[in-house]
């Protein structure tokens, strides 16, 4: 066994640690990935921001995906995605209830603004969620690779 592995209690904790570091390290790029959404927020939405809560939720989501993959519990991923869609569904019902004086001078402008907002919110959700899943997959793969590497050298 590699000396470091014996210090931390075996190969498994090393794999988990490396996997979490990879997951969280890749997670640092989530904001950059989500900002690649080409649609712009409607100008009247620029004052709305909740970045700290969104970042924390993304970190929790990456960790949960890593744990579900590591522990071979795909149902955990499915349950989280179902919960996320249910909560977003409630939030999306509000998209059509934007006050009439926001988003444009004409009915067409306001309708376009609501459609752009809906597309913006939906695209950010999809990109952010997929990115977090991929972070969890990459972390689990890296952790398992380290375990195999340590096992081969012992």
- Count Cα neighbours of 17 within 13 Å in the Cβ-side half-sphere: 9
pLDDT at 36 over 80: no
Range of the domain at 17: 3-153
d(CA 100, CA 78): 37
Domains: count for the chain: 1
Angle at CA of residue 52, ends 48 and 56, nearest 5°: 130
pLDDT at 37: 61
pLDDT band at 132 (very low <50, low <70, confident <90, very high): very high
H or E segment and range at residue 148: helix 107-153
Lowest mean pLDDT among 52-61, 70-79, 138-147: 52-61
């Amino acid at each position: 066994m590699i000396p470091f592995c014996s210090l931390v209690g075996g190969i498994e904790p090393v794999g988990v640690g490396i996997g979490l570091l990879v997951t969280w390290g890749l997670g640092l790029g989530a904001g950059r990935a989500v900002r690649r959404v080409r649609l712009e927020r409607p100008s009247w939405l620029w004052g709305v921001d909740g970045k700290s809560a969104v970042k924390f939720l993304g970190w929790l989501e990456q960790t949960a995906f890593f744990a579900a993959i590591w522990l071979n519990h795909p149902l955990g991923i499915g349950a989280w995605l179902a919960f996320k869609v249910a909560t977003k569904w409630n939030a999306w019902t509000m998209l059509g209830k934007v006050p009439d004086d926001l988003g444009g001078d004409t009915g067409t402008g306001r309708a376009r603004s609501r459609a752009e907002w809906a597309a913006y919110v939906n695209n950010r959700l999809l990109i952010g969620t997929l990115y977090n899943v991929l972070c969890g997959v990459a972390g689990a793969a890296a952790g398992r690779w380290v375990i195999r590497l340590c096992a081969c050298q012992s």
